[in-house]
Amino acid sequence: MMGAPESAARSLVPPLVLAQFIASYAATNMNVAISTIAAEIGTTVAGMQTTITLFTLTMASLMIPGSKLTDIWGRRTCFMLGLVIYGVGAALAAVSQGIGLMIFGYSVLEGVGSALMIPPIYILITVAFSDTRTRAKYFGAVSGAAGLGAAAGPLIGGVITTGISWRASFALQVLVVLSIIVLARRITDRPGHVSTPQFDLLGAVLSAAALFFIVLGVLQSTKYGWLASRTDFRIGDTVVIPTGGPSPVWIFVAIGAFILLWFFRHVRSRERRGKEPLIPLRMFGSRTANLGLSTQAIQWLTMQGSFFVISVFLQQVRHFNAVQTGLMLTPATIGILLSSALAERLAKRREQRTLVRSGFILTVAGMALLLALARADSSVFSFVPGLLLIGFGIGVMLTASVNVVQSSFPDSDQGEISGVSRSVSNLGSSLGTALAGSVLVAASHPGGRPFALALSTMLVIALIGLVLAILLPKPPAATAPGRAS
């Protein structure tokens, strides 16, 4: 293995895996405690939903600037700083008595902390391991932690909230972060650049604003719908768009798209003047990486969207509580963990693009089984085959797609591509939940089949992902399985 000695590099993995787990856990565990928290701190369910939305927006919009800072401050420094900020945010959320401190602790500080600590996770693994199958092994561990945190978040959060208190859930995050900080003291990092890169402040502001408005628009689709607005869109007491008018979703998305165009024009101008931009345009010149990023977005979209649909179905149709719902998703969690454990062995035997394709095929098969077997009155075991296949398929392709994207660039570009990769994944997650939610609402009319339609929508999107995976080009001989990339 080139790069760091394997014994030293392996010391990276436990803190990185735990950090990815806790960040994914934070994104989903709050959903089961919304009503409880709202009643205790004197706010509304809508207020808590806004808090969760702001966390997602903060994390997604700052991921690219956070990645660039890894090249300026150092990967280990950014990772540790992100952990400290995240831990302080969790501690403030645990003791909050009102919505203001909750937003500052959870939405702002945990969001900023996540944006700083997540990109170094993938960069450190990429630069420590140059062998494709070894990278796959450790990317598998991290991807498994991401999937486990997202899938088990509602269960763990539900158990803690029911058995102790929602404040204990935030206290647990603080304890985990402290443990990660202790473990991370052993992390060593070699510099990625000979000279310290410049920080493109305007580019950072534009990229953050663009992602903020795009993700905000996507998240508003659950409330307003995609086409005609389901309710009045107000700014203050003024009705800007009445019910039945065009959905305000597209206003936010259009603002984000305009700022994104401005961002790319700024990048081009900065490069022409010989200055370093936030993201070089060459990052978007790789067909392999672009297709890999597209499959990543669709993977997170289908995972979060499917889990959302299944969770709502179990709670509204089967009348399961939060703990029962989390337990029902256990087969998917097992599938993710199993595929992650097999990541190195699979990478040794198959090309990464083959694994991405296989993952989509398994996921599509799992969704088809759920549609065929799961009913309002069917046995709980009717959910197991489909959920297991979905989890296994997602675990296989998440690891392989990350490997495809990160391995497409040299060490010097890992800061930039890691930020783009994490932003795309966050966008996919937001779009999955929002799209599934909006389909459920739109189809909830007399005679409609909202859950079947929403899951079918996820299946169609997964098929689109399969087509993109088929288009992934064959890797050069140097990056074939079993050889150094």
Q: Which of 77-86, 391-400, 460-469 has the lowest mean pLDDT?
A: 391-400
User: What is the rounded average pLDDT of the residues 362-385?
Assistant: 88
96 and 55 share a domain? yes
Q: Let me know whether 406 and 257 are in one domain.
A: no
Residues 437 and 381 in one domain: yes
Does residue 379 sit in helix, strand or coil?
Answer: coil
Q: Is 152 exposed, middle or buried (0-12, 13-18, 19+ CB in 10 A)?
A: buried
The answer to whether residue 481 sits within a structural domain is no
Residue 207 and residue 343 share a domain: no
> With 80 as the cut, is the pLDDT of residue 224 above it?
yes
Residue 216 lies in a domain: yes
Task: Write out pLDDT tens, residues 6-57.
Answer: 555 567 788 998 998 998 888 777 766 777 788 888 887 667 777 877 887 7
Q: How high is the mean pLDDT of the chain? A: 82
Residue 21 shares a structural domain with residue 56? yes
401/290 Cα distance (integer angstroms): 11
* pTM: predicted TM-score of the whole model, two decimal places: 0.77
> Has residue 319 been placed in a domain?
yes
Whether residue 478 is predicted with pLDDT greater than 70 in this model: the reply is: no
Q: Does pLDDT of 218 surpass 50?
A: yes
> What b/e string do you get for 402-438 counting C-beta neighbours within 10 Å, with b at 16 or more?
bbbbbbbbeeebbbbbbbbbbbbbbbbbbbbbbbbbb
Any domain includes 484: no
Phi/psi for 235 (5° steps) reads: -120, 105
Domain final residue pick, 277, 304, 329: 277
Final residue before a domain boundary, out of 248, 277, 306: 277
- Report if residue 450 sits inside a domain: yes
Same domain, 223 and 300: no
Give mean pLDDT, residues 257-262. 94
Residues 324 and 413 occupy one common structural domain: yes
Q: Running DSSP on this structure, what letter comes out for residue 236?
A: T
Q: How many domains does the chain have?
A: 2
At 91, the pLDDT band (50, 70, 90 cuts) reads very high
Q: How confident is the model at residue 441 (pLDDT cuts 50, 70, 90)?
A: low
The answer to whether residue 193 is domain-embedded is: no
DSSP 129-180: --BHHHHHHHHHHHHHHHHHHHHHHHHHHHHHHHHT-HHHHHHHHHHHHHHH
pLDDT tens figures, 154-173: 778 778 877 888 899 899 99
Look at residues 238, 254, 277 and tell me which one is the last residue of a structural domain: 277
Burial 7-18 (b: 16+ CB within 10 A, else e): eebebbbebbbb
Domain containing residue 461: CATH number: 1.20.1250.20
In a domain, 1, yes or no: no
Tokens in use for 149? Answer: 């945190």
Q: If we measure between CA atoms, which residue out of 167, 16, 122 comes closest to residue 425? A: 122
Are 309 and 455 a contacting pair, CB within 8 Å?
yes
Residue 192, in any domain of the structure: no
Q: Is residue 57 located within the same domain as residue 113? A: yes
Residues 168 and 220 in one domain: no
Domain residues for the domain of 287 are 6-187+278-474
My answer on whether 81 and 127 are in the same domain is yes
pLDDT category at 347 given cuts 50, 70, 90 is confident
Q: Which of 23-32, 81-90, 214-223, 375-384 has the highest mean pLDDT?
A: 81-90
* 32 and 57 housed in the same domain: yes
In contact, 351 and 481? CB cutoff 8 Å:
yes
pLDDT at 6: 56
Asked if 437 and 405 sit in the same domain, the reply is: yes
